[in-house]
Amino acid sequence: MATKLTARRKRRISPTSESRPVQWLLIGIAFLFMGVMLLLPLYAVFHEAFLKGIGAFFTGLAHKDAQAAIRLTLLVAAIAVPLNVIFGVAASWAIAKFEFKGKAFLITLIDLPFSVSPVISGLVYVLLFGAGSFLGPFLKSYGIEVLFALPGIVLATIFVTFPFVARELIPLMQDQGTGDEEAALSLGANGWQTFWRVTLPNIKWGLLYGVLLCNARAMGEFGAVAVVSGKIRGQTTTMPLQVEMLYNEYNGTAAFALASLLAMLALVTLVLKTALEWRFGQEIAAGANH
């Protein structure tokens, strides 16, 4: 009797969970939605890229305009990401290590670019440096082109990736407090020594996490860059812009070949990001919501 009762109790589901069939139904719906909405597009990129064989794929990538686009994208990211890293570290140092008035407002301001449409992020620089502005003709008289040139593309990229590093580091450094730094200073270290030998090792994984997200967005940005680039073939087209151009010229294979490189970048980013979360979850946790 007693054994029968416990056996039955074991089979019964917990009152704070759903029955097995309901669980599997919900899991099934989640898988289906994710498969159709997320995995299918990813698969489609590679499928279309290799549709006409591996030869056509490499012909697309080997074209000199594609090569120029890849170089430009790498160059833009190589300028924009380090600048945002310096900003992110400086901003989180000021915000996390000190108490001052208007701090909460400053944190809100740093997140501002996330609520601005990418197209508007590019537009603001067109208005600032374009025809009819004060700055554009002034700089032009010194031979400096901003719009439809590298500086404009870099500025627009910095705008859209502005918050990435800072928003990872601020909560992390706030969590860590100032104890370690105060100890280092009291033992005679100067400010730079404290930063390089105490703070930086403490935040390195969080910093790497922020750099990863910042870089993915910098290389993949489309709307903001499209507005300022002028799309001069082989000169001011980044990889996403080159993808658009090829696609609009009905050169699908070449467009998807280049797109598959960007998709690979996205996958590598996701894998590294996930690895960081699994391995160093505690050390980046404070800011990790995406």
In the window 49-78, what residues touch other proteins (CB under 8 A)? none
Stretch that binds other proteins, among 27-35, 59-67, 137-145, 202-210 (CB under 8 A): 27-35
CA distance 290 to 273: 10
Stretch that binds other proteins, among 1-9, 64-72, 138-146, 176-184 (CB under 8 A): 176-184
188-197 as b/e: b if 16+ CB within 10 A = ebeeeebeee
Q: Which amino acid, 71?
A: R
Stretch that binds other proteins, among 3-11, 56-64, 202-210, 266-274 (CB under 8 A): 266-274
CA distance 72 to 241: 11
CB of 205 to other proteins, least distance (A): 17
Using rule CB under 8 A, residue 133 touches other proteins: yes
Nearer to other proteins, 3 or 108 (CB): 108
Using rule CB under 8 A, residue 188 touches other proteins: no
Stretch that binds other proteins, among 52-60, 138-146, 201-209, 222-230 (CB under 8 A): 222-230
CB of 15 to other proteins, least distance (A): 4
For the chain, what is the radius of gyration of the CA atoms? 25
CB of 11 to other proteins, least distance (A): 16
90-124 as b/e: b if 16+ CB within 10 A = ebbbebbeeeeeeeeeebeebeebeeeebeebbbb
